[in-house]
Amino acid sequence: MNQVVARFLDGTILKGWTHDFLPARALFHITTNGAEPLEVKVLDLKALYFVRSLEGDSDHPKTNEFPAFAPVPERKVQVTFKDGEVLVGTTQTHLLDQPGFFLLPADPRSNNERCYIVTSSTRAVAFV
């Protein structure tokens, strides 16, 4: 089971666990607090965040900066969502003709371990 935070295009946030998310599938399920799994359509999402903790860490300041002097093994990318939010990280594959792609956050201490970015929710994606 993966802990996830689903951010929907309408601003709704759903926190829980998934065991069946696959990038090639159009839908998956999220379970919250022992309730029945909820069906989630990928195209209804802005992004799906795979997180260390569902509570997050309010003491850790959010940053889009890479650590100084740390090697970056993959391509650096800046994602600007249609709602104006910006995420910076790395990706192994970024194909705009795909429904989405994974991004590893620039901040290694971020609560987000990795993010699945839904391509249709982005305004711009640029290599940096």
What's the confidence (pLDDT) of residue 30?
A: 97
Choose among 64, 28, 61: nearest CA to 45: 28
Quickly name the fold that domain 2-55+66-127 has: SH3 type barrels. (2.30.30)
What's the confidence (pLDDT) of residue 67?
A: 81
pLDDT-derived band at 28, boundaries 50, 70, 90: very high
Is it the case that residue 52 has pLDDT exceeding 80?
yes
What's the confidence (pLDDT) of residue 71?
A: 76
Q: What are the sequence ranges of the domains in the chain?
A: 2-55+66-127
* CA gap 24, 113 in Å, rounded: 20
Identity of the residue numbered 25: R
Taking the model in full, what pTM does it have?
0.91
